[in-house]
Every structure is written in C-alpha cells, then in structure tokens.
Amino acid sequence: MGMRRRVGGFVLLVNPILCDGFGHCAELAPDLVHVDEWGYPVIVTEPVPLANLAALESARYAVRGCPRQALRIERVSDPH
C-alpha cells in the first residue's frame, strides 16, 4: 500500500452546533456513524487506523456530503 506505512488513526468529529440532523453521514459512513432517536449522529469515538482505507473513504464522503459542513476528520497519532 504505497511506500510509506500509514501510521496513526483518525476520528470523525461532529460540530453539534452546526448539525441539523439531516442524517446523510449515517448513510454515507454507516460503520462510523449511527443515528440516535432524534436523528442526530452518534459517532464511533475510538480512533480508526488510517490503514483502514474503506473507513477513511467513507468518512471523507460523510464530510463532503454533510449539508451543514458539520463534520471533520481529525488525525490522531499512534498511541504506541
């Protein structure tokens, strides 16, 4: 998978002030985002390894697809 080993992980973060509960993120990244009873996202909080390309791609789709621009991806360094 490329020259450089992908180290560290990422978390998908939601800005709850901007979020209006459109629910697009849960459709685009179903492995990372669940929707609570009122339509707001509940996102997996523990970092996902960057090597998980499918998860990273779905997170990028969710960021791009959010009608309120309420999502962002934050990198976290490898804890070890």
Partner 1 sequence: MIALTSPYLWYTTRATGLVTMVLFTLVVSLGTLVANRVGGTTVGRFELNELHRTIASVAIVFLAIHIITTVADSFVATGPLAVVVPFVSPYKRLPVALGAIALDLMVAVWVSSLLKARVANASWRFIHWFSWLAYAIAIVHALLTGTDARHGVGLVIVLACLATVAGAAAWRFVARPTRAAGRTALSPLGVEPEPRGVQRDRAPTRPAPGPAVESSARDATPFPRRPQPRRHR
Catalog residues that contact partner 1 under the rule CB under 8 A.
18, 20-24, 26-28, 30, 34-40, 65, 67-70
d(CA 31, CA 20): 20
CB atoms under 10 Å from CB of 13, counted, come to 14
Q: How far is the CB of 2 from partner 1 (least distance, A)?
A: 26
The nearer residue to partner 1, 52 or 68, going by C-beta atoms, is: 68
CA distance to 2, 41, 55, 59, 69, per residue, from 11 (Å): 22, 14, 10, 9, 16
Q: How far is the CB of 77 from partner 1 (least distance, A)?
A: 24
Q: How far is the CB of 76 from partner 1 (least distance, A)?
A: 21
